[in-house]
Amino acid sequence: MPPITIQRLDNDIVRISLSSGRGNPLTPPLLDALCATLEELTASPPRALILDGGGASIFSGGFPLPLIAGWDRPAIATFFGRFLEALYLLMALPCPTICALNGHAIAGGFILSMGCDLRVCREEGLKFGLSEVDLGIAVPAGTQVLLAARTTPQAALKLSMMGKLMRPDEALRLGYADELAEDAEAFALGLAQTLAGKPGDGAAVTRQLYTAPLLAAVRKADDENMDAFLDTWFSAVGQKYLQAMAAKLGGRK
């Protein structure tokens, strides 16, 4: 099965669903497929785009630690560069974008969800957030800028620094979630249809005018501070916790 599936729906709406296996990890093949798809859509944009987890109980649990935990610094830098390329392409896409979250979004999956303009979350039973600090790793600087824009600067600092995961009601209160629904994917489709039905390019250009300076700020923060993030990833403490988590996720003793 391919790591993402793509559907072209009525009213020129495109749906991208993550389908990379248990937990929808953001594997290199998924990132390659996502970047290629987003590049194609940039050249020929739909009226609206929906990103979802393909009906899985986890939208995405983030990076595939059992695969990448043993990689050296240049390989990890390349991997994260590819992830950021996917995020930046999503943010720059010249059409409204909606993330439908019927499952948990943690770490890298949470970051990817913030690349969309709007987020619709299932109304109960889910968790969203960044768990990096519980592994001794810093939250990347660009992610902090993006989270501050999707919530508030103080909420972003607290969530990042504490590693606290939000429930849906808290996600709505802080601004990460724009809507709560019994079925996030169905609700997101309704939103996409509404946006696709707006006349002309008003909705698309409005989101570009908002997102362009935000994307520039996210890129700048990542470019200037990636080494500091990688230093924590390859610190003795970071490696200790990363390897333990990778073994746990990989089912090893």
Range 21-46 average pLDDT: 97
At 253 the pLDDT is: 39
pLDDT at 252 exceeding the cut of 90: no
Domain spans of the chain, in order of start: 4-185
pLDDT at 11 exceeding the cut of 70: yes
At 198 the pLDDT is: 97
- Answering whether pTM is above 0.85, one says yes
- Amino acid present at 131: S
Q: Which burial class, exposed, middle or buried, applies to 60 when counting CB atoms under 10 A from its CB (0-12, 13-18, 19+)?
A: buried
Range 189-210 average pLDDT: 98
* CB 50 within 8 Å of CB 14: yes
At 86 the pLDDT is: 98
Instruction: Give the 3-state secondary structure of residue 6.
Output: strand
The percent of residues above 90 in pLDDT, for the chain, comes to 98
* CB 214 within 8 Å of CB 207: no
Range 30-41 average pLDDT: 98
At 136 the pLDDT is: 97
State how far the Cα of 192 lies from the Cα of 204, in Å rounded to an integer: 12
pLDDT at 118 exceeding the cut of 80: yes
At 251 the pLDDT is: 82
DSSP lists the bridge partners of residue 13 as: 9, 48
Q: Which burial class, exposed, middle or buried, applies to 24 when counting CB atoms under 10 A from its CB (0-12, 13-18, 19+)?
A: buried
pLDDT at 7 exceeding the cut of 50: yes
- CATH 3.40.50.720 is right for the domain spanning 4-185: no
The percent of residues above 70 in pLDDT, for the chain, comes to 99
- Amino acid present at 112: L
Residue-wise pLDDT for 123-172, tens only, equals 999 999 999 999 999 999 999 999 999 999 999 999 999 999 999 999 99
Instruction: Give the 3-state secondary structure of residue 182.
Output: coil
Rounded to the nearest integer, the mean pLDDT of the chain is 97
Q: Where are the alpha helices (DSSP H) in the chain?
A: 28-43, 65-68, 73-92, 108-113, 141-150, 153-162, 168-174, 184-196, 202-233, 236-249
